[in-house]
């Protein structure tokens, strides 16, 4: 039997409290104990909330990190695709310049501009 929870319940169940200083002391004691018990309950609820918040934070951070890694991979993929396309266009532009073919030069310059605009 826990005296911290029994005293308030005894006072409220019986409804009868001795009169005079003893009765007043019982009521005040009961209120103090009730306040302490309520404080413990509140502390436990807040601890549970903090634990949930911490867990949610960890999940959110993991998602952010995962999203970041995915975007970094996408950027690298696009960069490598454009790099390859530009290298090929520059190579063929050089060959067109060496051969003096103006039509091919213009075609590859347009291809380079198209890759850069994407």
Task: Tell me whether residue 74 is in a domain.
Answer: yes
Residue 10 pLDDT class (50, 70, 90 cuts):
very low
Tally of domains within the chain: 1
Dist. CA 74–CA 1, nearest whole Å = 64
Q: What is the pTM of this model?
A: 0.50
Task: Tell me whether residue 102 is in a domain.
Answer: yes
Task: Tell me whether residue 12 is in a domain.
Answer: no
Dist. CA 89–CA 107, nearest whole Å = 9
Task: Decide: helix, strand or coil at residue 103.
Answer: helix
Burial of 89 by CB count in 10 Å (0-12 exposed, 13-18 middle, 19+ buried)?
Answer: buried
Dist. CA 88–CA 103, nearest whole Å = 17
Q: What percent of the chain has pLDDT over 90?
A: 36
Task: Tell me whether residue 104 is in a domain.
Answer: yes
Dist. CA 102–CA 63, nearest whole Å = 52
Which pLDDT value is given to residue 19?
A: 54
Residue 7 pLDDT class (50, 70, 90 cuts):
very low
Q: Which domain holds residue 52?
A: 20-117
Span 63-106, pLDDT tens digits? 999 999 999 999 999 999 999 988 998 898 899 899 988 998 88
Q: In this structure, what is the dihedral angle of CA atoms 88, 92, 97, 103, given to the nearest 10 degrees? A: -120
Lowest mean pLDDT among 3-7, 20-24, 56-60: 3-7
Task: Tell me whether residue 13 is in a domain.
Answer: no
């Amino acid at each position: 039997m826990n005296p911290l929870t029994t005293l308030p319940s005894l006072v409220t169940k019986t409804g009868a409290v001795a009169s005079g200083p003893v009765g007043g002391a019982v009521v005040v004691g009961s209120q103090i104990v009730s306040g302490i018990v309520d404080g413990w309950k509140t502390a436990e609820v807040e601890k549970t909330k903090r634990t949930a918040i911490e867990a949610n934070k960890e999940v959110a951070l993991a998602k952010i990190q995962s999203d970041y890694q995915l975007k970094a991979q996408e950027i690298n993929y696009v960069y490598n695709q454009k790099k390859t396309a530009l290298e090929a266009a520059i190579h063929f532009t050089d060959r067109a310049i060496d051969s003096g073919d103006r039509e091919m030069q213009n075609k590859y310059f347009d291809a380079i501009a198209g890759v850069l605009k994407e």
